[in-house]
Amino acid sequence: MSLFDYRRAVRLQEALSRRVLEEAASFPGLDPSRVRLVAGVDAAYGGGVQAGCAVLVDYASSTQLAYTCHVREPPIPYVPGLLAFREAPVYIKALRKLPENPDIILVDGHGLTHPRALGIATHIGLVLGKPTIGVAKNPLYGEEKTVNGRRLITAHGVTAGEILEPVKGVKLYVSIGYLIRLEDAVTVVKHLMKPGLKLPLPLHLADKYSKNTARQGYIASKKK
């Protein structure tokens, strides 16, 4: 990606974040009994290709209903802060192949806990106009503060994230993506976390499927 495109992408994020941060104060509360389908998206790489997968899970029973993958060449290299421009397109392609539309989407990465409040979870939420939650394995941006035993992350004047511990010694950074409140995002993620799994079920499965799919591409490109 050229320097010019980099600056253009950053300016786009800055422009969109103004709107998102205004809306954030009035993101709607969630009625857990109305949540039926949750999707998780993740990507893996191999043999020069990018494999993005989406997994559809029934929220109440935590059971897998379907999964889809889309394989393509990575559009741009990885640039910290601009992950969405590398991975959002393949996620959206995979999500459109699902047999049903999810009520909420879990994204592997950050949402508002991003330098310009426009992490990949927020980006995807804006594009699809749906509630999204960021779930990352590493911190990116924001100030951590412990309140009543909860490790909260403040970013851009918003309590935007919380650190969970799915497994002893492992941290998970949950953040507001779009159209959802932090309390609800945390409730949803906790509900989908299972004993022994480092990631909530939809992301655990998406990670597995994307790695398997990417490995096929790697093997294919290798045996020549």
Partner DNA sequence: GCGACAG
Partner DNA sequence: ATCTTGTCGC
Q: Residue 136: which residues within 8 A CB-CB, separation 6 or more? A: 108, 109, 110, 113, 172, 173, 175
Q: How many residues bind DNA (CB under 7 A)?
A: 28
Is 6 near DNA (CB under 7 A)? no
Considering only residues 29, 80, 149, 195, which one is a binding residue for DNA as defined by CB under 7 A? 80
31 is in an annotated binding site: no
Question: Which strand (E) or helix (H) includes residue 70?
Answer: strand 63-72
Considering only residues 89, 102, 119, 125, which one is a binding residue for DNA as defined by CB under 7 A? 119
Q: What span, in angstroms and rounded, lies between the C-alpha atoms of 85 and 77?
A: 9
Considering only residues 151, 156, 191, 211, which one is a binding residue for DNA as defined by CB under 7 A? 211
Q: What span, in angstroms and rounded, lies between the C-alpha atoms of 123 and 136?
A: 15
CB 192 within 8 A of CB 200: yes
In the chain, % helix, strand, coil (3-state, to 5) comes to: 35, 30, 35
Tell me the per-residue interface mask from 90 to 109 with DNA, x by CB under 7 A, - otherwise: ------------------xx
**Single-letter code of the amino acid located at 113:** T
The structure tokens listed for 214 are: 């990417």
207 is in an annotated binding site: no
- Only one of the segments 56-64, 76-84, 160-168, 183-191 lies at the binding site for DNA (rule: CB under 7 A); that segment is 76-84
Considering only residues 53, 71, 90, 136, which one is a binding residue for DNA as defined by CB under 7 A? 136
CB of 173 to DNA, least distance (A): 7
List residues binding DNA (CB under 7 A): 42-46, 78, 80-84, 87, 108-110, 114, 119-121, 134, 136-140, 211, 214, 218
Known binding residues for Mg(2+) are 42, 108
